Amino acid sequence: DFLFFWGAVFLVTTTLVAFLKKENQELIPAKEETKGITDTYRLLFSIIKMPAVLTFCLLILTSKVGFSAADAVTGLKLVEEGVPKEHLALLAVPMVPLQIILPLVISKYTAGPQPLNTFYKAMPYRLLLGLEFALLVWWAPKVKHEGGFPVYYYAVVVLSYALHQVTLYSMYVAIMAFNAKVSDPLIGGTYMTLLNTVSNLGGNWPSTVALWLVDPLTVKECAGAQGHTCATAAAAEV
């Protein structure tokens, strides 16, 4: 029902934009320099070869390695420790208004000449929240009781996720603002798409690696089976 409702809202709003919003012909910039797919890829390679772009791509491809495990694995580990999946899903609901408001607030700080300053300032706080997420997972079995988890535990989880959203959106909006600022208007679409794609890739590959490394890095103990480490999935199942 939740997905159906927001799917309907999405369809209605985008349809209204398509029919009611008209482009201002006077403000349309000069035509982009690309004519087809071949020209676009040639242009992309010429952009990538620029030293400043290469340095920036390396920065955003590696900047999210430090908190990839906390972002990708915390929810899974909380479920593993007994937190019901439906409760975690419900905790995401209070985040929706926060996710709408945060970009509006943060955009005031990224509108200046140095939008990446916000990115740099948010990073250490997001790294610290990764440690705090680890403590949340460690704390879960200690407060669990027969009826589930106490209300104060959920309150701490919601507060932690809210603070995490502040740091996440600070970095996200700052990167978007920087990409928009440095993109050449004549090739704005190509330039912006390239930088945003690299930025998205910089968030996705560390999360994938973190999920892949969960099993090899997890220490397990076998109850009632001396000398066995349960290191493999088959051994753990036995």
Tell me, yes or no, whether 210 lies in a domain.
Answer: no
Which residues does 5 contact at the CB level (< 8 Å), separation at least 6?
Answer: none
Q: Which domain holds residue 176?
A: 66-188
Looking at the DSSP bridge assignments, the partners of residue 227 are none
The answer to whether the beta carbons of residues 160 and 92 sit under 8 Å apart is: no
Which residues does 125 contact at the CB level (< 8 Å), separation at least 6?
Answer: 163, 167
Residue-level pLDDT at 61: 92
Which residues does 102 contact at the CB level (< 8 Å), separation at least 6?
Answer: 165, 166, 169, 170, 173
CB atoms within 10 A of CB 56: 19
Give the Cα separation of 227 and 223 in Å (integer): 10
Burial class of residue 211 in the structure, from the number of CB atoms within 10 Å of its CB (0-12 exposed, 13-18 middle, 19+ buried):
middle
Give the Cα separation of 62 and 16 in Å (integer): 39
Tell me, yes or no, whether 72 lies in a domain.
Answer: yes
Domain count, the chain: 1
pTM flag (> 0.95): no
Q: pLDDT per position in the chain (238 positions), as tens?
A: 999 999 999 999 999 999 998 877 765 555 555 567 787 788 788 888 889 889 999 999 999 999 999 999 999 999 988 888 888 888 888 888 888 898 888 988 888 888 889 999 999 999 999 999 999 999 999 998 887 888 899 999 999 999 999 999 999 999 988 988 888 777 767 788 888 899 999 989 999 999 999 888 887 777 777 777 777 777 777 7
The answer to whether the beta carbons of residues 122 and 167 sit under 8 Å apart is: yes
Residue-level pLDDT at 45: 83
Tell me, yes or no, whether 151 lies in a domain.
Answer: yes
Residue-level pLDDT at 35: 62
Tell me, yes or no, whether 111 lies in a domain.
Answer: yes
Task: State how far the alpha carbon of 194 is from the alpha carbons of 40, 42, 54, 221, in Å.
Answer: 11, 13, 12, 46
Tell me, yes or no, whether 142 lies in a domain.
Answer: yes
Tell me, yes or no, whether 165 lies in a domain.
Answer: yes
Tell me, yes or no, whether 105 lies in a domain.
Answer: yes
Tell me, yes or no, whether 206 lies in a domain.
Answer: no
